[in-house]
Amino acid sequence: MSDSSSYQYAAAGTLLLVLLAFVLFQPNGLARWLQKKNYQYEVTFALYMLTPTEKFIFNSILFLTLSMLTTACCVYLPSHILLISRRAYYYFAGGDATFLGASRTAASHLGGTAAKASEAVYDATANMVGAAFGAAANASAAAGEEVAGQVADSVG
């Protein structure tokens, strides 16, 4: 009984390896597009002439810089824009801004609307990704079965 289960595991592993090799050597449109973008990135920044360690260092510095810039924009920029708008109102109209209560109400309404819109976009994206993953899994399973059938025909 344990011999048949080990044969089943060996057959499943072999099928998985054949499927993986098929997917790796027959890239789909997304894989080709990603390879092209990686090539353009390496050629634009002359990374193709660097060693892997130098590429890692360069990419790490670039990633950290961009992530800190993005974080700073998301965290500090809204409050800074509000401060600048208050100062601009003070310079043009003088005195305290009496409309700030109304603008805060409008801003909170706008923020609630933006949150609802972002949730809708997230849900739509999650559904599309799930459908794409399901389609890719079905296509790869069908290709694996076809390859296994061809292997069985050539052996038999």
What are the structural domain ranges in the chain?
Answer: 1-49, 51-96, 99-156
Contact present, 27 and 35 (Cβ < 8 Å): yes
What is the Cα–Cα distance from 149 to 143, expressed in whole angstroms?
10
- Confidence tier at 27 by pLDDT (50, 70, 90): low
Per-residue tokens: 141: 């399973």
Question: Mean pLDDT over residues 10-28, rounded?
Answer: 81
Contacting residues for 148 by C-beta, under 8 A, at least 6 apart? 15, 18
Per-residue tokens: 8: 């089943």
One-letter amino acid at 38 equals N
What is the Cα–Cα distance from 91 to 150, expressed in whole angstroms?
79
Q: Which residue has the higher pLDDT, 105 or 125?
A: 125
At residue 152, does pLDDT exceed 80? no
Which range of 19-28, 56-65, 70-79, 117-126 scores highest in mean pLDDT? It is 56-65
**Scanning the structure block, which residue is given the tokens 């050597």?**
25
Question: Whole-number mean pLDDT of the chain?
Answer: 82
What is the Cα–Cα distance from 91 to 85, expressed in whole angstroms?
10
Contact present, 89 and 103 (Cβ < 8 Å): no
- Confidence tier at 5 by pLDDT (50, 70, 90): confident
